Structure 1
Amino acid sequence: MEGFTEIFVWGMDNCGQLGLGGHNRGKKYASPVFCSFNILIKELSCGEDHSAFISDSGHVYCMGSNSNGKLGIGDRHKVFSSSPSLVESLSQHIAIKVSCGWTHTAVITEEGVLFTWGNGEYGQLGNGLYEDSWTPKFVMKNTHDVSCGARHMGAVSFNTLYMCGSGEMGQLGTGRRQNEAFLIPVSNANVAQVSCGVFHTGFLSTSNEIFTMGGNSFGQLGIGNKKSSISAQKVPLKDCIRIICGNCSLAICSDGLYFWGTSIIGEHLTPKKLKVSSFPIIDAAIGGSFLIAIDSKCNVFSWGNNSNGELGLGDFESRDIATMVTGFKGKKITKLAAGGNFVISLGMNNREKKEYKTPLKSIEGNRIPVLSNRENIERYSHSPGQTDNLAWESSNKKTRKGSRESFSKKSLDKIEYERNSYRNLAKNAELQASLLKNESKTFKEDNFILKSENQILKEENFSLKNENKVLKEEIYLIRNEIEGFKNKLPTDQVVEKVKETYGAEIKSLKTQLEAQCSLQNDLESDLKRALDQNTLLEDSLEKAYKETSAQATREIPELYKKIQGLEEERKRLIEKSETYEERLGNLQILVQKTNEENLIMDKRVQELTDEIRRLNNFIQELQFSNENLNQIVQNHESSYIAMNYENSELQEKVLQMHSHNKEIMTNFEKEVSIKAKEFKDKTIGILNGQKANTTRNIISDDKEGQHSSRKDLSTNQQAKIKNAVSKILDSKPPESPLKNLRVSSPTRKSPDRSTTYRPLSQEFAGKTPNKYDIKGKIQNLIQNRSRIEKKIKLLESGEENNL
């Protein structure tokens, strides 16, 4: 009976870790997507960006990122796998448990053998090396639990905890902070289960107690503080069932789900009971920054960060409380695993009659090819009814392109692929024969065991018979002694004597005899059943051996024929390969010439690249200089605009001042003219007063008392007055208004005449005087005025004295 397990996936599929095929890689799924790999699945685990599961037959499949070889497929050129790929090197083993870390993977087989592969930089593979492993490597035996963390790993063997990998935060619990490349025993306690987180580790004891160790920056140890620990510390919880570690910690206990550490729901340094569901929690997982759980009614709850749709709630909004995921369309979820930002969950198993003789080597895209039975091509779908074409149909539809070298390479790859396919068929045939031999060997071993048990029962029966014989002899001796007593004593006395002497012993012997008889009967019945069972087993073994031999007899000639055909095909392919190798040699010569030309071109390209780099640097310098010049020009333009604006304002002010100064100068000229006229009149008046005095002195006898006038002065007097005034006026500075006065004859009026006096408006004609010029002129005028007044006073006093 075979079938398939319903699968629901959601979250980020950037590396194909959801197994939805290459055409869906890189998408985000905010709601659960239903799919099936057409295979029954019993275990699964998710890492940072890869995932793995174990089929019902015990084969291991991996998908997602193949960095550091964490898929275990041995192909160093394969960056990722967007569909499940079989870990072929474990196909001869039956796996029962798988664990995915950030960059490494571990598997336990049915025999308790531990295999690891992937990144070994910190010794987390436990194989004694600090290097990557691209295929599974044996680590240890007698392992019943394993957990991979970010960069470390824990395993349980005979209830003892072993740790390896990074120990920088004390997560190994060895009492020191250093890496370990081998699995080191760190706890003698009875350990039942271990879980490795990012920087800490937790384990469950057989007494249902939880212990933690490692980093504690976010309270993930649950011990009431944030101090890290290099040894195991007890968490205050009882009746625990399971411990889950990641960035924080979860514990499933008999009374509910407990959380401690830091997440979107807050920071808790000690365990806090979460309200998730009214039904008991049966499974839980911790993702990169989110939590997810299942209750006993198969309801799924999630909370935390949701930037990639990892909560499966149909949106990308975060939740700080547990929210039920409702996108399963009535399907029940039984198991789940959380990765960095994605979730894979298992639904119910749908069983149907299908026979697979060998493990599925690859689940390519949306299909499962079965190598041992070409007509059984399985298909996988995202939704019921959706199917894709076969792998070989898809490969035959690819367009051939490229150079002759790539064509030859593809042809050789195709030949190699066919050769490997035939080899796989031969291996499958050998595997069938080996399986038949193993079954026959198993039957023989069972028969040998039954025979051994039968022999043991016979020996026990023989021993019991001997004991029974001894007991009979003892009874016979006792009876003889009793007969002797009978002969010597009366009957009643004999009976009493025998009772007194051997009564207790006789009872004990009777009891032993009855027990021995009962045991003998049981042993005889067991022996009879064992003989019957042995007979049936021998018949079954003989029948199975005959059937196996007959089947092998029928199949082996066919296999030999196939192998012969494959050998012929191999020879034909070798001939083709030689032809292709010859062509490939020619192509290699051509490629070599091309490479030489490419080297020359590369040198030229390098030179041109250097020249371009130099020109680019020069251009950048010019651009930088241009930017500086532009900045300077902009600054000058701004200054020019500001100066123009200031100049316009100054021009307006100058015009205003010029107009105002003109008005002031006009008024001042008028005032000076008036003052000069007054001064002239006053001077003439003074001169006229002097003449009158002189006339009165000369002509004292004039009785008429006539009013004197200038024409009454003599010529000498007029000349003296004129010379005195001229001397006074000549002593004045050129800019003095008195300089322009003219002494005329007192006997005539002064006619209109030209003057050498220049008004201020003419002195500053053609230019605009500034305020300092105007202030200087005004100061000079004031000084001249004071000097004129002083001279006038001196003139008045001097003339009076002279006259």
Structure 2
Amino acid sequence: MEEDERKEKEKEKQRIWSWGAGTDGQLGTGSLQDHTLPQLLHLPSVASPISSLACGGAHVMALTSGGKVLTWGRGSSGQLGLGEVVSYALNPKPVTSLDDYFITRVSAGWSHSAFVSDSGCLFTCGDGSFGQLGHGDHTSHCSPVRVTCFVDHFIAQIACGMRHSIVLLKGSSTNQVYGFGSGKRGQLGISKDKIKSIGVPEVISELEDKEIVEVAANGDHSAAISFGGHLYMWGRGFKGVADAHSPQRINSSLRFAKAALGWNHALALTGEGEGFMLGGNHLGVLTDPQSLDSAKQLPVNIKEGNLEKVPGLNGVKIVDVAAGAEHSALVTENREIKTWGWGEHGQLGLGDSCDQTSPLTVSLGCELDEAESIRVFCGSGFTYALTMPYNTSLQ
């Protein structure tokens, strides 16, 4: 009874905001409009609070602490997992076909979705035309289908890129990383040769001895973090950097805890709360205008890193980072949200559609309770903020 009462209090306190592109219903506001300022949402009641979100090209997945999933936004490829193809869903709907499973992880690609259960099962749905669903073919599905090639394995994590997927398997002695889907820019990390696409997951052999604990994907990029905090990246090269068809370790003594990938940039967060940027200079990805001239001189090797520290924080630690197609967001230890980059659809939440080359503070229009923490999530042109109690376990 006490546990039920605690969950009810958490649900009552939880708040979710969205802003940016909304023309496919991905903001959850009940309309098909862009919003340049954060909108406080009134989502349908669920049995337990939302613990995490995943934002794709124009759809959103909400994972509850009770293992259930809600989806909304664009559904034209079946990526909402609702059993039918819909142009869009204005309001969150439950993925009922997974009711017999306790889902612990979700990930959203451009137009495909993936779900991992507490028993290590992997399910995918949506666009399968590049093999990104992992079923060995190029068929699309409007309901989640179990990826049978992993039936004898335990899936720990899934990360969906634009048209590819990266899976982390947890083994008894080591963790293995697999890739499937589009691979022409090297984002699968399985071969030095250009691979158009594969539908059957293949192991990334160069990571087999690295003890990988986290994976990430977006656009034509992939990343992994090892137990020791080493960051590996592969796929489409950022500006001035060649494509990497196998994982390349970022040459840094820093110990990384999280990586967030955009289409032309990446963010990396250390365990000490320092944030770094990696990538080109398009639409404010690099914050220093002087770097626009020097970018042509960047070495053409991802191993060099080209890391630039996120400026303007005056020593304040970062607790969360997220990357959209061409914009970035972070949360400071003071629970401030800051955004920068591409702003055409209002995805920076600053009240306009301007691009920004430096992180600026987003106003949510209210104060946060001392017992609340906050996280940020980015889709291709939109942003979400989610509050939760400090003691809530996060995806």
8 Å contact from structure 1 (residues 223, 234) kept in 2 = no
> Does 2:260 match 1:260?
no
Structure 1 or 2: larger helix share? 1
Deviations along 1:165-212, whole A, 9 cap, x unmatched? 111524xxxxxx211111111233212211111111111122211111
Following superposition, the deviation at residue 225 of structure 1 comes to: 6.0
Following superposition, the deviation at residue 35 of structure 1 comes to: 3.9
> Does 2:353 match 1:278?
no
Helix, strand or coil for the counterpart of 1:208? coil
Deviations along 1:508-556, whole A, 9 cap, x unmatched? xxxxxxxxxxxxxxxxxxxxxxxxxxxxxxxxxxxxxxxxxxxxxxxxx
Deviations along 1:62-105, whole A, 9 cap, x unmatched? 110002100001123x2x10000111112222122211100110
8 Å contact from structure 2 (residues 374, 387) kept in 1 = yes
Structure 1 or 2: larger strand share? 2
8 Å contact from structure 1 (residues 68, 133) kept in 2 = yes
Alignment-derived partner of residue 420 in structure 1: none
Structure index of larger Rg: 1
Aligned mate of 1:234, from 303, 309, 334: 309
1:530-679 correspondence runs (5 A): none
The one-letter code sitting in structure 2 at the alignment partner of 1:146 is V
CA RMSD of aligned residues (A): 2.4
Aligned mate of 1:41, from 103, 117, 130: 103
The 2-side partners of 1:209 and 1:119 are apart by 32
> Does 2:110 match 1:57?
no
Deviations along 1:320-358, whole A, 9 cap, x unmatched? xxxxxxxxxxxxx9979xxxxxxxxxxxxxxxxxxxxxx
The one-letter code sitting in structure 2 at the alignment partner of 1:240 is I
Following superposition, the deviation at residue 28 of structure 1 comes to: 1.5
Aligned mate of 1:144, from 213, 220, 226: 213
8 Å contact from structure 1 (residues 283, 335) kept in 2 = no
8 Å contact from structure 1 (residues 218, 226) kept in 2 = no
Alignment-derived partner of residue 290 in structure 1: 382
1:249-648 correspondence runs (5 A): 249-255=328-334, 256-263=336-343, 264=346, 265=350, 266-276=354-364, 277-279=366-368, 280-296=372-388
The 2-side partners of 1:291 and 1:267 are apart by 15
Alignment-derived partner of residue 183 in structure 2: 120
The 2-side partners of 1:11 and 1:222 are apart by 31
The 2-side partners of 1:225 and 1:98 are apart by 37
1:728-739 correspondence runs (5 A): none
The 2-side partners of 1:43 and 1:225 are apart by 40
Deviations along 1:362-412, whole A, 9 cap, x unmatched? xxxxxxxxxxxxxxxxxxxxxxxxxxxxxxxxxxxxxxxxxxxxxxxxxxx
The one-letter code sitting in structure 2 at the alignment partner of 1:199 is N
Following superposition, the deviation at residue 270 of structure 1 comes to: 1.2
The one-letter code sitting in structure 1 at the alignment partner of 2:251 is S
Higher relative contact order (CA 8 A, sep 6+): 2
Aligned mate of 2:88, from 28, 32, 55: 28
Consecutive unaligned residues of structure 1, counting only runs of 5 or more, are: 171-176, 299-332, 337-803
Following superposition, the deviation at residue 136 of structure 1 comes to: 1.3
Alignment-derived partner of residue 302 in structure 1: none
Aligned mate of 2:143, from 50, 72, 83: 83
8 Å contact from structure 1 (residues 224, 270) kept in 2 = no
8 Å contact from structure 1 (residues 257, 281) kept in 2 = no
TM-score, length basis structure 2:
0.68
Helix, strand or coil for the counterpart of 2:135? coil
Following superposition, the deviation at residue 14 of structure 1 comes to: 0.2
The verdict on how the C-alpha distance between 1:223 and 1:143 changes in structure 2, with shifts beyond 3 A counting, is farther
Consecutive unaligned residues of structure 2, counting only runs of 5 or more, are: 1-64, 299-305
8 Å contact from structure 2 (residues 284, 340) kept in 1 = yes
8 Å contact from structure 2 (residues 257, 270) kept in 1 = yes
The one-letter code sitting in structure 2 at the alignment partner of 1:145 is E
The verdict on how the C-alpha distance between 1:130 and 1:281 changes in structure 2, with shifts beyond 3 A counting, is farther
The 1-side partners of 2:182 and 2:244 are apart by 14
The 1-side partners of 2:152 and 2:362 are apart by 44
The 2-side partners of 1:335 and 1:63 are apart by 24
Alignment-derived partner of residue 80 in structure 2: 18
Helix, strand or coil for the counterpart of 1:187? coil
8 Å contact from structure 1 (residues 54, 95) kept in 2 = yes
The one-letter code sitting in structure 2 at the alignment partner of 1:97 is Q
Aligned mate of 2:323, from 237, 245, 256: 245
Following superposition, the deviation at residue 262 of structure 1 comes to: 2.2
Helix, strand or coil for the counterpart of 2:284? coil
The 1-side partners of 2:360 and 2:153 are apart by 42
The verdict on how the C-alpha distance between 1:28 and 1:120 changes in structure 2, with shifts beyond 3 A counting, is same
The one-letter code sitting in structure 1 at the alignment partner of 2:377 is A
1:88-99 correspondence runs (5 A): 88-99=148-159
Following superposition, the deviation at residue 19 of structure 1 comes to: 0.3
> Does 2:242 match 1:178?
yes
Percent identity of equivalent pairs: 27
Farther off after superposition, 229-238 or 94-103: 229-238
The one-letter code sitting in structure 1 at the alignment partner of 2:92 is P
The 2-side partners of 1:88 and 1:35 are apart by 20
Deviations along 1:754-792, whole A, 9 cap, x unmatched? xxxxxxxxxxxxxxxxxxxxxxxxxxxxxxxxxxxxxxx
The 1-side partners of 2:331 and 2:169 are apart by 26
The 2-side partners of 1:138 and 1:242 are apart by 29
The 1-side partners of 2:363 and 2:128 are apart by 38
8 Å contact from structure 2 (residues 81, 95) kept in 1 = no
The 1-side partners of 2:117 and 2:162 are apart by 22
Alignment-derived partner of residue 9 in structure 2: none
8 Å contact from structure 1 (residues 95, 108) kept in 2 = yes
Following superposition, the deviation at residue 248 of structure 1 comes to: 0.2
> Does 2:234 match 1:164?
yes
Q: How many residues align?
A: 290
The one-letter code sitting in structure 2 at the alignment partner of 1:31 is N
8 Å contact from structure 1 (residues 51, 100) kept in 2 = yes
The 2-side partners of 1:46 and 1:52 are apart by 7
The verdict on how the C-alpha distance between 1:10 and 1:334 changes in structure 2, with shifts beyond 3 A counting, is farther
